[in-house]
Amino acid sequence: MSYIAEMRDRLDLLRKQSGFSRVLVDGRESPVQPANIMALFENFQSFLVVGERDRAAYVVKSVLSKMQAQRLAAGDQLQIFVAIDEATEWLLS
């Protein structure tokens, strides 16, 4: 099973058990990507935030990475952060 398929299954189970999901993605080790690679991540949000109570926080290592990632984030349920503390606080609020 692929990583994405397993993640979807686990998030579906979490939603069935608690009614929502909260996801913290630590992307601090990922380099800034060219536009053609970032295009592959366009569906990233589609399985992280399904229900209206779902939230996902994506933590990146720099402001440049944050600006790049924000182009893919639609709505308020996926937020991009440089500080993991801020991401965790937002997820738990």
Question: Residue 53 above 80 pLDDT?
Answer: yes
Across residues 53-72, what is the average pLDDT? 90
What is the model's pLDDT at position 56?
A: 94
Q: How far is CA 53 from each of CA 15, 35, 93, rounded to the nearest angstrom? A: 10, 30, 12
Confidence tier at 47 by pLDDT (50, 70, 90):
confident
What predicted TM-score, i.e. pTM, was given to this entire model? Answer: 0.85
Looking at the chain, the number of H-run helices and the number of E-run strands are: 5, 3
Task: Identify the CA nearest to 30 among candidates 76, 74, 64, 61.
Answer: 61
Q: How many structural domains does the chain have?
A: 1
Q: What domain range is 83 assigned to? A: 3-92
**DSSP-H helix ranges across the chain:** 3-18, 35-38, 44-48, 63-70, 84-92
Query: With contact defined as beta carbons under 8 Å apart, do 57 and 91 qualify?
Result: yes
